[in-house]
Structure 1
């Protein structure tokens, strides 16, 4: 490096040694860089080299080296203004008064010189050279010396230096208390103190005035010294001597006459406009801080900034407890600095802003206030943060707990999920009110002891209960299995608080779920109120619709269902623990559709195996009785219209309908319409909760005789001539019969999760049914019985259209008694069904469906049919 420097000159040389010195400083420290630069001979770059050495010396706080490098430049006038300040700082750090004085002669500006003088004064103060600091301050220009900061500094230095004349002049200029100045001067220059004393008012601090007067002029003859509080009070009233008031109030307070002492202090406070001595102010504040003391917010606000922190905290606490929080906020600065201030703000924040109170109490705790734990725990509980409050409750000694604290801790532990700890706190407290016993009931419930909880609720209701206590007790009784008691207590809650919407709603739901129909009917007015109070609660609306339906008011039930659907129309996230919003809406639409359906049309066609019966039976030559074991029809087509009678289609699930149907049957798979049956009848569904139907039908059948039946195939159904000819044969060449058919059908096991309906929020589901069918042809005297159990699993098909595919299995039993000879047939099989739903709208679920099925039937035994095995295909549309 030295060789490169020797071979370089000018800026290139400077760049080389600058870079190298910086590298040394980075990896070896500033001292190493300074040592290397000191051994480097100058080469036309002496000024820059000295400035660099001074920089490293400053980093090392080597002020002597800094001066040695910069002073030569200052002597030759080569020192820049910025570096002049660095040199001045080095002299200041060395407290080199001589060197700095010489340097000030070449200051770059008067402002820089004055700033340097001030810095030198501050440095002298820092090292304890007070006289030197005083000289430097006095060397400042008069206008700068008049600034309050400098005059205050000079006043302090004058006191340190015992400069009595200067202290007196500056004290008066700074408007320091006159007696304070006299007190200091009395120890330094008594003559000057007496001169100053003449200007002091006697009423500023009478006690201090008397003490200083005695010190400067000697004690005057003293009257006999009072001994009792009454004597001191008499002297005070005669002389107005505040020292006498001090002694009077002290003795009165000690003797338990605090009210009289406070009265004297209040008179003096008002007479002197609050300008009393610290001890008198402190005593008055102490009297106000007592819990049994009066609350004078005006005087307390005046005392708060003039007493010690402990008393200030007590005064603020009393104001906060009394609810005078505006006064508290007025007395507390914007940035509180004492725990008592934070504690009072926290008390004011309770109970409306418990979260804010937590912040204040935590701030007080950070300032070392050990008595802040209990109110902090209360605030955390009120803010709903029981988890954080629990460690605080556990840390408190037993002596810190009151009954209220134990009950609050119990409630917090219960909220935090620790029922056992809650029970321990609750057991340790006295239970005086209904709230206390209700808390015990809630704890017992959480512990899984409903009977104990019920006992506690009975205690709660024996201690001046409110409506909410009856409401809570009702829930406990229901949990304990005492439904009658639960309902009675809930009714009492409603009686005591008839305008409480939640009570009315729950009472309505309770009545609606009763086993007594009369009580269920009583629920309707309560549920009507509840649906207005809680229009978004679909469970209330659905229950009201059910009760309307049970009351045979289908129109009101439909109206309520439409209202629910309107409310749910714009919901975005309406899922809950009972299911999805869409499934719920579909359920409501299905209920609305069931209540509003008046007409039902069914079209069906079935092709059965040879010798296997289809979905209806045709007579043999017009006679039901006969000996043939072969089924009379291999395919059957059905058209049926069902029309509900009455003002409303449904009355509590019960319906009465008139219906008509037409059946066509053929004796082989390729022949159609050899027989035709027509029927008109009544259908009665008596039970709302059971799928039981009773039929009475006038049945007429026509069957073309073999001589005239020319056959009608599926393709020929499209030929008007063929169809017309077959119709003519049915009218003119057919045997006919009439009968009265009485019939009963029922289906079971097909409700709830096994129902045959579209599912919104399921991709696959199970279906099943047990179908029973009994028929009696009264004229022919024949009977027929059919029972079928079927179960399968349906899967949704892809796409937006509601379609499913379901494989299933079944067992079937049928029986007939032609010629009074009972014959039976048992069979089983498997099949697959495709189903499509259609025709829905905003308020109604799918009204129609199309089913196509194919199944294989295997005979299990019996003597009713022959050649009974084979494939059955059927299609059915209902709308």
Structure 2
């Protein structure tokens, strides 16, 4: 059967005791070396774990591997034999033990087990061997309390079997991490006088692991535990437990000689911990390693200096090379008042690699200790502190020294400080030093580049240095200073200068920075003028109120300013102000402003009178001529307006606004030739880079679209004849709106129209007022033919556009049959049609800007046939997106909603409502430099569905072809 597994091997205790053996199963030493034990440990632990899990293969493999690594070790032999017996391989176990007797024949653990016939029932027998068996069985089952109960018997506890069981319990407890139980058992062994050296070391380590450094110290003091590593472990434990006094006492009586530099460094650190209370411990300790000796001195010196023990500090430094610990030597010299020596040590420190970083604290400490002359010499030796991250602080410190003891700076020092440094930031830091020395020549030399990066203080300093010698440069310097940090005096000077240069924003900012109580009446008037020039009427009113409150003279200049300031808030009050100004001194500017206010109030005639009076005072003012032209237009006098615009245009031929205005006025007068000429000029100005006024509401369009609008206008102004043709081919009869014969249902239809536009002979007429036209149209006939070649009709009539701002056309047309069809007859059609796209950006004409555009059109048509006595109403809304394919070419998906109503004068009203979807290809062509595309060709395919109709078919598909030229 499987036997209980032996409990002999424990886990490694902890890292601070590497010299302790890993296994302590009995009192006989193992023949394995410490290195072999280190190699064996993981295999034995894995074997025991497999043994507990009854994993035969793994357990035997691990114990056999351990045996191969240490073939003479008693522990590996016992482990492997026990594993063989546990898994029923008694012969193999006997062979292993026989082989081991060759190396350790006297080891009692190799004694043969008692014969079977000598076996007793150990469950009830209390002999030591039975108690041991029961204890080991309990130990194997993990029942450590039962094992401990067996050991409670006094006669058994002192027997060899009891001692072996107790030691096994110790190791098992260590293995399971039960440090308390392990410590109790080791204490029991100690009480029995059976505590061996290895077990003493285990107990020592357990006490440290349990945070009981005082007990570990006492155990060590009893002997057998005096290695440097153990001394260090106790000291570290006392430090971790906060036992500072006990630590100091312990360090005082132990002087371990460490073989490891890191261990010695820890010991020195512990000495430093108690250095404030027991400094002699750190001072007197003799470190074996040079690095630790240096660390000891570095740790001890601050303590010696802090307690003003100069003798101890000197002794510590005397042990070290003179070129070492210069910072400590500097501190000691500074504390003893040896400032020259301190500066020499500081210079040596600064000369070291990266020593420039110490210049700031070293110079400060010299100043703080009362040695500013030495700090000055130290700083000047490193001036201008290149590459030093604290350069700004060092410059400032040198400026403080210059202010305190300017006489200490020699001529050579001043010449060195007055040489301009290579960068603006360095010069910014350099000038305060020269200012502290009152060296104006040096300041002018350093700031001769007049860099805009200089701060306000430096510009003010430069202005002070220039004084009356160079007033222009002084004024410039004060202006620069005022930009950065204004004060009342320099701000006032800046305000006057900036206004004279027409830099109104800067002038206004300067005036607003001057408190009103520091401003004289002339200053207030100048400030108000500046505010109006900067378009700040509210600010101007406040200053004018202060001016009046101070008793300033209210002459025409005051009222002129007051009118400008009051206008945005109260136009009526501004008119009163202007009238007061004109009463004191008539001026063209006053009349012009009064005319503008009169125009805003809708008083066109008084505004014209005011401008006429202004023109008398300033007959050469071309801007006034343009204003007068606008006033004539508002008073319906385009003939006089065009004279004034021509006069202004001659003075400013490149002004696109005047060109556009002349285009508009000549168009209004019906002079298409002149209007077309100005349209060409506007195109030329736009091509040359000018910015013109936009056509109608298209002010926001880009330059390309504006050029296209001009070309479209130029083309339209030069056109007399216009022709268009359109054809629709459908798959069924539909009431689709058709311009040929409203109200008629066709499958297909065709129309060809030509019209001639008349130039109106009367003034003020619109260019599209009257046109005569003739058209020829036909349909699919009563048989529903595919081709629109039936029932030809000729229509002759006139179009009249009564409104200039709306696209509404009234028409009268006489229709006559052509070809003698019996389905046609003479009739007279009166028609009113309107079309709206609701903005030029949504019309159906070519758009020069962008990759495409949305277009929409709402068309309403009402036609009355006098002879047939029927009325037709058509309403059609279409929305489409033009996607540009190339210049002058687009593809347009679109949707439409259409309603047709027919009153046949027989008491019935027929309705047709439908929706449609289609896609259309558009081609514009014939563009020139001055004319937009005069021709257009379109092909569309459209499907329609009637949601209500008087026709039989609800769905229809059309092919639509249109052209215009």
Q: TM-score, normalised by structure 2?
A: 0.46
Question: Separation in 1 of the partners of 2:483 and 2:831?
Answer: 82
The reply on whether 1:468 has 2:575 as its aligned counterpart is: no
Deviation, structure 1 residue 341: 4.3
C-alpha deviation, 1:467, in angstroms: 0.8
Contact 1:830 1:857 (8 Å CA) reproduced: yes
Aligned to 1:259: none
CA RMSD of aligned residues (A): 4.7
Residues 574 and 686 from structure 1, CA distance in 2 versus in 1: closer, same or farther, beyond 3 angstroms? closer
Tell me, what secondary structure is at the counterpart of 1:460? helix
Shift of 1:534: 3.2
Matches within 5 A, 1:143-292: none
Task: Give the counterpart of 2:566 among 444, 462, 473.
Answer: 444
Distance change in 2, residues 1:570/1:604 (3 Å) = same
Q: How does 1:272-421 map to 2 (within 5 A)?
A: 339-343=467-471, 345=472, 358-359=476-477, 374-390=492-508, 392-393=510-511, 396=514, 400-415=518-533, 419-421=537-539
Select 1:552's aligned residue among 645, 650, 670: 670
**CA separation in 2, counterparts of 1:563 and 1:395?**
49
Match of 1:6 in 2: none
Q: Does 1:760 align with 2:830?
A: no
Output the CA distance in 1 between the equivalents of 2:693 and 2:682: 15
Residue 609 of structure 2 is aligned with which of 474, 488, 493? 488
CA contact 1:683–1:695 (8 Å) conserved in 2: yes
Local SS of the residue matching 1:547:
helix
Structure 2 counterpart of 1:97: none
Residues 1:594 and 2:716 aligned together = yes
Aligned equivalent of 2:904, options 817, 823, 827: 817
Aligned to 1:262: none
- CA-to-aligned-CA distance 1:300-325 (integer Å, 9 cap, x gap): xxxxxxxxxxxxxxxxxxxxxxxxxx
Contact 2:670 2:759 in 1 (8 A): no
Structure 2 residue 944 is the aligned partner of structure 1 residue 830: no
**Aligned equivalent of 1:841:** 928
How far apart are the structure 1 equivalents of 2:622 and 2:483? 43
Unaligned runs of 5+ in 1: 1-22, 33-55, 61-125, 128-334, 347-355, 625-629, 704-733
CA distance 1:422–1:657, change in 2 (3 Å): same
* SS of aligned partner of 1:461: helix
Say whether the 8 Å CA contact 1:609–1:869 is kept in structure 2: no
Identify the residue that residue 563 of structure 1 maps to in structure 2: 681
The Cα of 1:869 is off from its aligned counterpart by 4.2
Which whole-Å CA distance do the structure 2 matches of 1:24 and 1:668 have between them?
127
Aligned counterpart, 2:653: 535
Distance in 1 separating the partners of 2:870 and 2:890? 38
The reply to whether residue 526 of structure 1 matches residue 613 of structure 2 is no
Aligned to 1:3: none
Alpha carbons of structure 1 residues 652 and 523: separation in structure 2 relative to 1, 3 Å: farther
Matched, 1:675 2:762: no
Q: Does the Cα contact within 8 Å between 2:872 and 2:902 map onto a contact in 1?
A: yes
- Give distance in 2, aligned partners of 1:830 and 1:614: 10
C-alpha distance in 2, partners of 1:833/1:684?
31
Closer, same or farther: CA 822–556 of 1 in aligned 2, 3 Å: farther
Residue 546 of structure 1, CA deviation = 2.4
Q: Does the aligned pair in 2 maintain the 1:444–1:453 contact within 8 Å? A: yes
Q: Following the alignment from structure 2 to structure 1, what is the Cα–Cα distance between the partners of residues 836 and 691?
A: 33
Q: Does the C-alpha gap of structure 1 residues 856 and 553 become closer, same or farther in structure 2, counting only changes over 3 Å? A: same
- Structure 2 match to 1:267: none
Q: 2:817 matched to which residue of 1?
A: 700
Q: 1:682 to 1:811 in 2, by over 3 A?
A: closer
Higher relative contact order (CA 8 A, sep 6+): 1
Residue of 749, 772, 776 corresponding to 2:861: 772
* Residue from 771, 782, 785 that aligns with 1:656: 771
Q: What's the counterpart of residue 82 of structure 2?
A: none
CA contact (8 A) 2:746 2:779 kept: no
Note the C-alpha offset of 1:424: 1.7
**1:464-502 deviations in whole A, cap 9, x for unaligned?**
131122222333444455555444333332332232111
Q: After superposition, what is the alpha-carbon deviation per residue over 1:182-234, rounded to whole angstroms, capped at 9, x for unaligned?
A: xxxxxxxxxxxxxxxxxxxxxxxxxxxxxxxxxxxxxxxxxxxxxxxxxxxxx
- 1:701 to partner: Cα distance: 3.3
Aligned residues: 514
* Alpha-carbon offset, residue 829 of structure 1: 1.1
Tell me the distance in 2 between the aligned counterparts of 1:25 and 1:491: 98
Structure-2 separation of matches of 1:618 and 1:523: 44
SS in 1 for 2:857: strand
Question: Take 2:926 and 2:487, find their aligned partners in 1: how far apart are those partners?
Answer: 74
1:802 corresponds to = 889
Q: Which runs of 5+ in 2 are unaligned?
A: 1-320, 331-343, 349-406, 409-462
Aligned residues of 1:589 and 1:843 also touching (Cα < 8 A): yes
Equivalent of 1:605 in 723, 727, 739: 727
Q: 2:753 aligns with which of 634, 640, 646?
A: 640
CA distance in 2, matches of 1:634, 1:398: 86
CA pair 371-651 structure 1, distance change in 2 beyond 3 A:
closer
* Secondary structure at the counterpart of residue 619 of structure 2: coil
**In 1, distance between residues paired with 2:476 and 2:586?**
32
CA distance in 1, matches of 2:621, 2:756: 45
CA 1:596/1:378 → structure 2, altered by over 3 Å: closer, same or farther? same
Deviations 1:725-758 (A, max 9, x none): xxxxxxxxx5485525333242143353343222
| Alpha-carbon offset, residue 655 of structure 1 | 3.1
TM-score (norm. length: structure 1): 0.50
- Equivalent in the alignment of 1:789: 876
Q: Per-residue deviation at 1:821? A: 5.7
Residue 457 of structure 1 pairs with residue 578 of structure 2: yes
| Maintained 8 Å contact 1:377/1:392 | yes
CA contact (8 A) 2:733 2:784 kept: no
Separation of aligned partners in 2, 1:546 and 1:737: 46
How big is the shift at 1:557? 1.0
Rounded Cα–Cα distance in structure 2 between residues aligned with 1:755 and 1:842: 22
Partners of 1:746 and 1:566 in 2: CA distance = 37
Distance 1:678 1:662 in 2: 5
Contact 2:855–2:882 (CA<8 Å) still a contact in 1?
no
Structure 1's 668 and 634: CA in aligned 2 closer, same or farther, altered over 3 A?
A: farther
Shift of 1:873: 3.8
- From the superposition, tell whether residues 701 and 866 of structure 1 become closer, same or farther in structure 2 (CA, over 3 Å): farther
Residue 790 (structure 1) shift: 0.8
Does structure 1 residue 498 correspond to structure 2 residue 619?
yes
8 Å Cα contact 1:535-1:567 kept in structure 2: no
Query: What is the rounded CA distance, in whole Å, between the counterparts of 2:948 and 2:527 in structure 1?
Result: 76
Change (3 A) 1:416 1:572: closer
Return the alpha-carbon distance in structure 1 between the equivalents of residues 769 and 564 of structure 2.
45
CA contact (8 A) 1:339 1:363 kept: no
Answer whether contact 1:555 1:648 (CA < 8 A) is retained.
no
Deviation at 1:688, TM superposition (A): 5.7
How far, CA to CA, are the matches of 1:505 and 1:637 in structure 2?
Answer: 52
Shift of 1:651: 6.1
CA distance in 1, matches of 2:739, 2:464: 98
Q: How many angstroms does 1:377 deviate by?
A: 2.3
| Aligned partner (choices 541, 554, 559) of residue 423 of structure 1 | 541
C-alpha contact (below 8 Å) 1:617/1:633 kept by paired residues: no
Structure 1 residues 750, 495: closer, same or farther in 2, change over 3 A? farther
Distance 1:396 1:557, change over 3 A: closer
Match of 2:833 in 1: 746
